[in-house]
Structure 1
């Protein structure tokens, strides 16, 4: 996030080749203003949304099914990157100047990159869990409620995300040029490193999760269409929205990365103006990809009636009774569906047909 990909240019008479060919002039000041406002919006809205999601769902963490368990991890992952957005907001405002030292340069980049992978991994796992719970309700859960398997799988995804993030982070450092900046620049074999890391990024963060998410959502939509007790067709198209939002958030980013890889392998395949546009647009599509921190809570939680009921019950339980100081709502029942036991049969029936992620077993 904080790093900038640098291009190794060929020289002609001591001058980079692109100096002779570049004619386009891109005003970066408007980009800085737009990115600052974008980060500010994501920080304010995403922080509020994900805190509410974690607060409501954490109350049921011990009995939560695999889908809800993945939702909690997605929100925790998104919160990680949201809390470091103020650093990027200031960096954008000061035109890539980094004022917080080498340690925070490496740590903030590591946190961002871990989220980069973990969010997609848990979204794919959640979609797979949802598909299995709808089509094979008698089969063992991918993330079982009890036992060590849940924590081993969860820890494995976080560790794998951390490992992939380290491949980039080892080359992130604070460089003192005209002004201090946080960059991803290895000392040797830049092209080989960049192509390798970009390939890991495209495959593990986008292609594999997208294949799982899209395939499972298509199969879920087909299963819901044939369900005799489905209550509405809203759930049929909602699963396609899940896939569409994931692709819209990440496809532009990975498309630009892919074109930058091509440019690095063959510096003369694109014109100078094209290369300038690619580097100009990189930070833009990178910022737009963070919209998943705002979209995920809405799609996977606030659109769910089960989550809204639990949110209302959580708020009511926090309000003290007049004159007693005892919370209202008859006590906290975080393990019960919608905060109470009367809807258990209805919720189990709903879980067989609803495609709303939070409604499964909640």
Structure 2
């Protein structure tokens, strides 16, 4: 929903005439629409499959899982929420920002979209912090304990905070009848103040704070793994840094463009007309690119984990109506309940030192 893009054009057309008459750059919006449609289609198809598998496999062991896996489930649920509403955005892009599904769906889809912005980052940050504490301070109480009300209170608190932050924008989202109906954030009063406030909240709570936690904890995790004398996963230390890199790659372009938009709203004469056109032309593109976190998260935090792959195979095999196959899997070394021999203490020690997020406490 290119609310900021529309609002900016509307505002400047009424207050800075040079914006309308002095532009020399010509950008073809059709290419942007095609790119956005393909991005949405890819994220919808791949993300729906990946996150559906993650929730399906991990939900079966949610009661015995530790805090890391509990956060992974919430991240996938958050990503699934935004994935299921992507068809609305795909149709909106196809019809050049025309919204045909009424005021209720306009508000609901925008709310879900923005809630995912915050909730996904919050749970990734808490998951990384939980991971760091489990490796370096094993006696420290878990942030998301296996049992007890604290897990659900903290989980509910993160969702409520995400909902509250999203609601600050969503209360101003409505259908605007111009040439065609469109779904935009259009405050009745003080648009500039509202837009700057919402953008700064998003920058701080969705990006800067989670990024600081994720990067700091991952650097400390990498150091701890490198110094451990008996860790098999030392060769995978690079993966810890990939977690941070992917988060930055998904969200930095969006927030960088958003920050420049804030500067333009504060001082509308700072940038040239061509720079403004390029800036707002690219906004919806980087907004679409940010959705790649819905595809990257399941791969990084689940499919690269041997524990998750074993559980996925066992879950699929459990639905195959072959008694002999089920018996073999139940007695195998990769059985969900720890089948096969081995030393439990050693297995947990190596599991806790692994660089893969979902291997903790498997």
Could you say which TM-score interval applies, normalised by the shorter chain? over 0.9
Q: Deviations over 1:24-78 (max 9, x none)?
A: 0100001111111111011000000000000110010001100000000000000
In the alignment, is the contact (CA less than 8 A) between 1:229 and 1:353 conserved in 2? Answer: no
**2:68 aligned partner:** 67
Following the alignment from structure 2 to structure 1, what is the Cα–Cα distance between the partners of residues 209 and 161?
14
Following the alignment from structure 2 to structure 1, what is the Cα–Cα distance between the partners of residues 31 and 68?
41
1:154 deviates by: 0.2
**1:105 partnered with 2:110:** no
**1:349 aligned partner:** 349
Q: Deviations over 1:111-156 (max 9, x none)?
A: 0000010000000000000000000112111100011000000000
In the alignment, is the contact (CA less than 8 A) between 1:301 and 1:357 conserved in 2? Answer: yes
**1:228 aligned partner:** 229
Greater Cα offset, 342-351 or 124-133: 342-351
SS at match of 1:218: helix
**1:39 aligned partner:** 40
Following the alignment from structure 2 to structure 1, what is the Cα–Cα distance between the partners of residues 69 and 145?
11
1:321 deviates by: 1.8
What TM-score, normalized by structure 2, do the two folds share? 0.94
Q: CA RMSD in A?
A: 1.9
SS at match of 1:9: helix
Following the alignment from structure 1 to structure 2, what is the Cα–Cα distance between the partners of residues 127 and 329?
37
In the alignment, is the contact (CA less than 8 A) between 1:53 and 1:297 conserved in 2? Answer: yes
In the alignment, is the contact (CA less than 8 A) between 1:304 and 1:356 conserved in 2? Answer: yes
1:11 deviates by: 5.4
In the alignment, is the contact (CA less than 8 A) between 1:38 and 1:287 conserved in 2? Answer: yes
**2:261 aligned partner:** 260
Match of 1:9 among 8, 12, 16: 12
**2:326 aligned partner:** 328
**2:190 aligned partner:** 189
Following the alignment from structure 1 to structure 2, what is the Cα–Cα distance between the partners of residues 330 and 59?
20
**2:97 aligned partner:** 96
Q: Deviations over 1:159-196 (max 9, x none)?
A: 00000000000000011111110000101001110110
**1:48 partnered with 2:49:** yes
SS at match of 1:183: strand
**1:207 partnered with 2:208:** yes
**1:282 aligned partner:** 283
1:331 deviates by: 8.9
Following the alignment from structure 2 to structure 1, what is the Cα–Cα distance between the partners of residues 327 and 60?
15
Q: How many residues align?
A: 355
Q: Which structure is higher in helix share? A: 2
Unaligned runs of 5+ in 1: none
Following the alignment from structure 2 to structure 1, what is the Cα–Cα distance between the partners of residues 327 and 346?
21
**1:247 aligned partner:** 248
Structure 1 pair 247–329 and aligned structure 2 pair: CA distance change class (3 A): farther
Following the alignment from structure 1 to structure 2, what is the Cα–Cα distance between the partners of residues 347 and 3?
51
SS at match of 1:173: strand
Following the alignment from structure 1 to structure 2, what is the Cα–Cα distance between the partners of residues 329 and 104?
49
In the alignment, is the contact (CA less than 8 A) between 1:309 and 1:339 conserved in 2? Answer: no
**1:161 aligned partner:** 162
In the alignment, is the contact (CA less than 8 A) between 2:330 and 2:339 conserved in 1? Answer: no
Structure 1 pair 292–189 and aligned structure 2 pair: CA distance change class (3 A): same
Following the alignment from structure 1 to structure 2, what is the Cα–Cα distance between the partners of residues 144 and 112?
29
**2:122 aligned partner:** 121
1:338 deviates by: 3.7
SS at match of 1:290: helix
Structure 1 pair 11–72 and aligned structure 2 pair: CA distance change class (3 A): closer
